Amino acid sequence: MRERENYWLRLRGRKVSRRGFLAGSGVAAAGSAAILAGCGDDDDDDDSAAPAATQAAATQAAAQEAEATEAAAAEAEAEATQAAAAAAEEPAGGPRRGGTYRAWKTQEDQGLDPAIYHSGNGEVTQQVYNHLLDFQVSKGIFSLDAAVGYEQVDSTTLVWNLREGMQFHNGEPVTSEDVAYTIARPPVLYAELGSTHQPASNFRYLDLIEAIDDTHVQENWEEPRADALIPRSRQYFAIVNKKLVEAQDGKAQEHVTGMGAGPYILSERNAEGTHLTRNPNYYSHPNPDDGFVEDGPYIDEIDVRIIPDPVTAKALLQSGDLDAYGSLDSLEVEEFDDIEEVSIEGAPAGGWSVLGFDGGKFRDPRAREAIRKAFNYAAFIASVRAGDGRFQAPLTVTNTRFQTLTQEDLATWYVYDPKDARALWEAAAADADTRGSADEKYDKIYESVEIHTITNPTMQTISDFAALSLSEALGTEFFVTSADGTTWVNAATDRTDDVKSWDLLQSGTGIGGGTDGTPGTNYLSWFDPLQYALNAFNFHYETPHPEVLEGATIVGDMMAAQNVEFDHEARVQIITDLQRWILDNTWSIFIMPMAATAFLGVSSRLRDYGKDDWFNSYSWNNVHRRESAWLDDA
């Protein structure tokens, strides 16, 4: 977005230079002469109009030439000065400063408080605010941002050492009180209003957060929490200005300049999008960790336009009017074959596509195992994934820090065996028959199975494939229903009964998407009896089915055990054991193969933007916080 200015005022207030006046007069004179000549008597022999026109044209040409010469000289001089300045401060071929990074999102944000809302506000929570750390998921490393160090004093005490000299956008210093307030705020807000993303269990362990001096903040927890560090790099713990947020009753919905201390200032936000301008007082990162530079960021402005239609956004990338489109599927990649302005990068895909079980009906492990064995993996990868697919694990395979299961390991669980599947399904159905009508609502799946999905082409294709594959193998009708996202969420979370309105809930496309690296919240939360397994899938402690309760207790205990294990190797072992148990029991959800490669469409001018983590949780709205990013034509 450009600087807003009223056209009429601009027109009224426009200054006319002497040369401009001469040129304009010349044009006017020439035009008038031509008109006069044209309107005159055709038979008139008086040719005085012609010299007048010629003279006027000559005047105009002279004025234009003078203007052009002078402008060219001025431009050349300015360019030379600029080039000299650039040469003085930047190494040849290295990062350039300046320019506007152009991104897009499909709709307006649903609020700007980083601790409460998350939909559509990623560019603000990641760029207008700063964080203690930045976690590079692909590398499994922490980069220091607002903190210059931290110490896990014991299993329930964490001390942060803060960077000095940080300022909010209004010039006020970032104090240890602000940071302590930032960490203490999400649990309070959660208790009041509920979080939109992080479940209660991710905040409940926090007890007393206090500033112990000007540069140190101490976190005291009610119980050990091995997962604490990674979330400190997420939007919930974006550092806020205590004074300004308290003035809004502890919420940061109405953004006021000075609420954040991040690399960019929110300069505009309206129905057309958001515009961020580089923070001139942004703090330096001496000896920067990965993703940061000493005097970043290099890019001056970030423009995020609202473009509801992805086709339009793709066209804008193709014409060089956008710098990032985001995830492309393998067929879309071909559309960019001859376009120099666009660079297509392949990166390991995250995300997943699952069929969630209703634990009220799929309480018999044989029924769940039958689903796993009735799914034709090879055909799915060949058709839906266009030959480029791989198996997904309960904890995503892209989480390199915690994942030990290989594709070979996973292949031992994901075996297509329709004969065995049918036998398991029929055995479970036979037992259901003996239970009679008392358990009818729990046993209806053996007559027909409803797969419920979102009205989305990819998700419907996945569901249709699943329905076909499972129907053929199990001899029971599997059919697909779909709804808009809101209705789907409503159906998924409805807990008015101990069975769901659907039987299998299809979720996710398995293309793009990623992990923020926190095992407790990413992916494993789908099995956790306190998280998704409670709210969506009926695999929780309140279940009326003893076999489900037994499993929920095992999963819950292992989740709790990995949460309190600070030794990384020991924690990874617990997580691996947990994954094996989940796969053995096809627990809570059935995971279908994901895309192996995700393709990212970015403009060719964008450099060092952190490709490998693009599909992880940092790049919402196609804006990825990486201060080393720069634009080649800036």
CB of 135 to another protein, least distance (A): 21
Pairing relation of β-strands 100-105 and 301-306?
Answer: parallel
**Choice between 364 and 450, CB closer to another protein:** 450
- Binding of another protein at residue 305 (CB under 8 A)? yes
CB of 362 to another protein, least distance (A): 18
**Choice between 174 and 230, CB closer to another protein:** 230
Of 14-22, 187-195, 582-590, 607-615: span binding another protein (CB under 8 A): 187-195
- Per-residue mark of binding to another protein, 245-264 (x: CB under 8 A): --------xx----------
Half-sphere CA count of 145, side-chain side, radius 13 A:
32
- Binding of another protein at residue 287 (CB under 8 A)? no
Q: Give the span between the Cα atoms of 155 and 420, in whole angstroms.
A: 47
Q: Binder to another protein among 523, 532, 539, 609 (CB under 8 A)?
A: 532
CA angle 162/163/166 to nearest 5° reads 115
**Pair 289, 266: CB distance under 8 Å:** no
Half-sphere CA count of 344, side-chain side, radius 13 A:
19
Query: For the chain, how big is the Rg over CA atoms in Å?
Result: 31
- Binding of another protein at residue 455 (CB under 8 A)? no
**Choice between 6 and 437, CB closer to another protein:** 6
Q: Give the span between the Cα atoms of 511 and 501, in whole angstroms.
A: 27
**Choice between 310 and 475, CB closer to another protein:** 310
Pairing relation of β-strands 147-154 and 141-144?
Answer: unpaired
CB of 62 to another protein, least distance (A): 29
Q: Which 197-236 residues touch another protein, going by CB under 8 A? A: 197-200
**Choice between 442 and 488, CB closer to another protein:** 488
Q: Binder to another protein among 172, 321, 420, 464 (CB under 8 A)?
A: 321
- Binding of another protein at residue 196 (CB under 8 A)? yes
Q: Phi first, then psi: what are they for 507, rounded to 5°?
A: -140, 135
Of 194-202, 204-212, 232-240, 431-439: span binding another protein (CB under 8 A): 194-202
Q: Binder to another protein among 447, 484, 557, 577 (CB under 8 A)?
A: 484
Torsion of Cα atoms, 268 then 262 then 203 then 524, to 10°: 90
| Amino acid code (one letter) for 357 | F
How many residues form the binding site for another protein (CB under 8 A)? Answer: 62
CB of 446 to another protein, least distance (A): 27
- Counting other chains too, the contacts that 567-571 makes at CB distance below 8 Å and 24 or more residues apart are 571/226, 571/402
- Binding of another protein at residue 538 (CB under 8 A)? no
Q: Binder to another protein among 295, 329, 341, 417 (CB under 8 A)?
A: 341
CB of 102 to another protein, least distance (A): 9
CB of 487 to another protein, least distance (A): 5
Q: Binder to another protein among 40, 308, 386, 568 (CB under 8 A)?
A: 308
Distances (CA, A) of 246 to 103, 166, 184: 32, 20, 13
Q: Which 266-285 residues touch another protein, going by CB under 8 A? A: 270-272
Q: Give the span between the Cα atoms of 153 and 534, in whole angstroms.
A: 34
Of 19-27, 234-242, 479-487, 508-516: span binding another protein (CB under 8 A): 479-487
Q: Give the span between the Cα atoms of 82 and 79, in whole angstroms.
A: 5
**Choice between 174 and 623, CB closer to another protein:** 623
- Binding of another protein at residue 188 (CB under 8 A)? no
Nearest alpha-carbon partner for 105 in 343, 303, 352: 303
Ramachandran area for residue 593 (φ above 0: left; ψ -120 to 50: alpha; else beta): beta
Give every CB contact of residue 612 below 8 A, 6+ residues apart in sequence: 138, 139, 347, 348
- Per-residue mark of binding to another protein, 488-507 (x: CB under 8 A): -xxxxxxx------------
Q: Which 98-127 residues touch another protein, going by CB under 8 A? A: 107-108, 110-113, 116-119
Of 17-25, 299-307, 397-405, 570-578: span binding another protein (CB under 8 A): 299-307
CB of 530 to another protein, least distance (A): 10
Q: Which 409-448 residues touch another protein, going by CB under 8 A? A: none
- Binding of another protein at residue 633 (CB under 8 A)? no
CB of 201 to another protein, least distance (A): 10
Q: Phi first, then psi: what are they for 161, rounded to 5°?
A: -105, 120
Q: Binder to another protein among 194, 281, 382, 411 (CB under 8 A)?
A: 194
**Choice between 31 and 194, CB closer to another protein:** 194
The DSSP H or E segment spanning 306 is: strand 301-306
- Angle at which helices 18-39 and 49-89 cross, to 10°: 150
Q: Give the span between the Cα atoms of 604 and 631, in whole angstroms.
A: 9
Tell me: cis bond preceding 544? Omega within 30 of 0 counts: no
**Choice between 116 and 230, CB closer to another protein:** 116
CA angle 534/586/404 to nearest 5° reads 100
CB of 288 to another protein, least distance (A): 33
> How far out from the chain centre does Cα 543 lie?
34
CB of 455 to another protein, least distance (A): 11
CB of 141 to another protein, least distance (A): 28
**Choice between 505 and 629, CB closer to another protein:** 505
Q: Binder to another protein among 5, 41, 46, 47 (CB under 8 A)?
A: 5
- Binding of another protein at residue 81 (CB under 8 A)? no
Q: Which 30-49 residues touch another protein, going by CB under 8 A? A: none
- Binding of another protein at residue 316 (CB under 8 A)? yes
CB of 150 to another protein, least distance (A): 27
**Pair 521, 605: CB distance under 8 Å:** no
Distances (CA, A) of 447 to 57, 432, 466, 476, 503: 89, 11, 17, 6, 11
To which residue do tokens 């940071």 refer? 179
Sheet holding 504-507, edge to edge: 477-483, 448-454, 504-507, 353-357, 589-592
**Choice between 423 and 483, CB closer to another protein:** 483
The DSSP H or E segment spanning 578 is: helix 568-585
Residue ranges that bind another protein, judged by CB under 8 A: 1-2, 4-8, 107-108, 110-113, 116-119, 192-200, 253-254, 270-272, 303, 305-309, 311-312, 315-316, 318-321, 339, 341, 484-487, 489-495, 531-532, 535-536
